[in-house]
Amino acid sequence: MRGTFCDDVSWGLAIARSAASRSPGATHGDQRPEGKLRWYTRVVIVQFCKKSIERLGAEMQPMLSTLRDQEHTVTIKDCLERCQACDKQLIIATADGTPVSGLNPARILATVAALAEDS
């Protein structure tokens, strides 16, 4: 004998919940080992000017590591042909083709994060 409509709906919801628990990244992000839920943002392709990034010295590596940890694609080019900004001692980059510059790594990271969330 067939159940009522409510039984069918409850059964369908149970299946959907079961599928979601098997693949938590499918719709709501994935569960990180530290227990933080990570919402997916789009990946940004960031290209840096080699000369401007080398000026950072010790600050360069943490910035690049942060971008890579956020799963953005980071490349370093010899020149991005924005020499006026480079002469002003700015960090020169493009993020998905958008020119980005800043005096410190925090500014670049904030701009990339804003572009990633804009999707």
Does 28 score more than 80 pLDDT? Answer: no
Buried b (16+ CB within 10 A) or exposed e, 55-87: ebeeebeebbebbeebebebebeeebebeebbe
pLDDT digits (tens, 9 = 90+) for 63-80: 999 999 988 999 999 988
Q: Across residues 5-21, what is the average pLDDT? A: 46
What pLDDT, on the 0 to 100 scale, is given for residue 73?
Answer: 93
Residue 40 pLDDT > 80? no
Strand-strand pairing, 73-77 and 45-49: parallel
Segment 78-108, tens digit of pLDDT: 988 888 887 888 899 999 998 999 999 999 9
Residues 59 and 53: their CA atoms lie apart, in Å, by: 9
Is it the case that residue 17 has pLDDT exceeding 60? no
* Domain residue spans of the chain: 1-29, 45-117
